[in-house]
Amino acid sequence: MRAERAQVIDGLNRLALQHAGRSFNELAFSAPPAPNPPPAPPRRADFDIAALRALLNAAFSDEELTTLCFDHFRPVYDQFSTGMARTAKIQHLLEYAEKRQQVARLIELVEDLNPAQVAAHRGRLRRGAVVLGDVNTGGGAIVNGDVSTGGDFVGRDRH
């Protein structure tokens, strides 16, 4: 019985060395490799919160903002009180989304409900976004990232 066991282990070691480059014992008793961590969600610094505040203000009435929070951000809705100003509701929503790294989700929800307003504010929502082109005629493109200061552009680059 012991000889058979030794033969099986020897066979496993040869196979493991041949196919994995490690002995069976090393494979069996070593810690599994750590999985790759998931990509980090965008940090709050990636978004211009003042621009997001302006978007929320333009995109929703008080009633629509309340409904958004009730449907998608219940802990925020639970903080609302009778007669609370819309600006205070927006502030609660922004604080919640920032702390829980849900700003991108918030923008996606706003885009689903009011795509025209998101399109109008898109160039200002991410930090480092620069609008290239002639903004007087409505032309141009939004570029995220570093852009040289050469050429005509309106907007803000990273500092």
pLDDT of residue 41: 54
Burial class (CB in 10 A: 0-12, 13-18, 19+), 98: middle
Q: What is the CA radius of gyration of the chain?
A: 27
Contact (CB, 8 A) for 131 and 142? yes
Contact (CB, 8 A) for 153 and 132? yes
What amino acid occupies position 131?
A: V
Predicted TM-score (pTM) of the model is 0.55
CA torsion 77-83-87-90 (nearest 10°) is 0
pLDDT tens readout for residues 101-155: 999 899 999 999 999 999 998 888 887 644 333 333 344 444 444 333 334 434 4
Contact (CB, 8 A) for 99 and 106? no
HSE (CB half, 13 Å, CA atoms) of 110? 29
pLDDT of residue 18: 80
With both helix axes pointing from N to C terminus, report the angle between 103-113 and 115-125 in degrees, rounded to the nearest 10. Answer: 150
Beta bridge partners of 126: 47
pLDDT of residue 45: 54
pLDDT of residue 34: 63
DSSP symbols for 106-155: HHHHHHHH-HHHHHHHHHHHBTTEEEES-TTTT--EEEES---S-S-EEE
Q: Which of the four pLDDT bands, split at 50, 70 and 90, describes residue 9?
A: confident
pLDDT of residue 22: 77
pLDDT of residue 32: 64
pLDDT tens readout for residues 16-47: 778 777 777 777 777 666 667 666 554 445 88
pLDDT of residue 159: 44
